[in-house]
Structure 1
């Protein structure tokens, strides 16, 4: 498959799940918002779980563990978008700009909600990897973060921001 075919395939794949703002009536579908949020959640969850697990396993304090989890969540969240838009043919500089524009608000909201839940749940920060509370709080935080971030993403996509930038970057 040549470069143009890859770009068309990637572009068509994204348009199968909704159209970005400004293309067909200016709104964003809930399906598109859910998929954008799931995309973001995947990267955030990988980084968050890795950071929390490493910090907890190594006996780090609460602050260094949360910092590691947040940094890794942003790193993995951006990486998923970066790899996608690079595959679509964008050069590295343009791909980094798209990833930053597409994911920053979504990841920030998700991390704020998820880490807030972990921090405010009694005993969660002291829980060990073998404790059900550790995993229940972390996974529950992801669910709540998803529910709060999805309408944020819908609003942003409907205005041509957030994940809509990723669509424009490879259109």
Structure 2
């Protein structure tokens, strides 16, 4: 059943994207919160790092699959990763912001981690159907 395989593949691809994005997102949030930066700068740092780590994970994974270099792999994955990361970042930052995870005094506050966990889950489920559609339409490279 090709549809079932596409769904299973989209589960895997979305999880891979989530891990890459979340590493960058978490690093950015931790920097912003610990340095008491404004929410705008905290989000900016988190988004930039999420894109950097997310794209790096995807490009590196694709590079390791075949005999292509990182530039070639980036050319293959840029569109699908851009869409996935964008949706994931919007959802994760909205959830984190509204749950107060960015308004805490320290990363040691439980609210910071609870908000991040909810944002993590929301980011996954918001991006999953988009990745499924992109894979079905052959618009997302699978790594």
Would the aligned equivalents of 1:46 and 1:76 in 2 still touch at CA under 8 Å? yes
Q: Counterparts of 1:86 and 1:106 in 2: how far apart (Å)?
A: 19
| 2:14 maps to which of 13, 25, 37 | 37
Question: TM-score, length-normalised on structure 1?
Answer: 0.76
SS at match of 1:29: helix
Q: Counterparts of 1:35 and 1:27 in 2: how far apart (Å)?
A: 13
The structure whose Rg is larger is 1
* Ranges in structure 2 where 5+ consecutive residues have no aligned partner: none
Give the length in aligned residue pairs: 141
| Deviation >4 Å, runs of 4+ | 24-28
The answer to whether the aligner puts 1:135 opposite 2:104 as a matched pair is no
Q: Counterparts of 1:28 and 1:149 in 2: how far apart (Å)?
A: 18
Alpha-carbon distance, 1:115 to partner: 0.4
* Ranges in structure 1 where 5+ consecutive residues have no aligned partner: 1-23
Residues 34 and 153 (structure 1 numbering): CA distance in 2 closer, same or farther, change over 3 Å?
Answer: same
Alignment-derived partner of residue 44 in structure 2: 67
Alignment-derived partner of residue 27 in structure 2: 50
The structure with the largest helix share of the pair is 2
Would the aligned equivalents of 2:22 and 2:50 in 1 still touch at CA under 8 Å? yes
Question: TM-score, length-normalised on structure 2?
Answer: 0.90
Alpha-carbon distance, 1:90 to partner: 1.2
The answer to whether the aligner puts 1:157 opposite 2:114 as a matched pair is no
Alpha-carbon distance, 1:126 to partner: 1.3
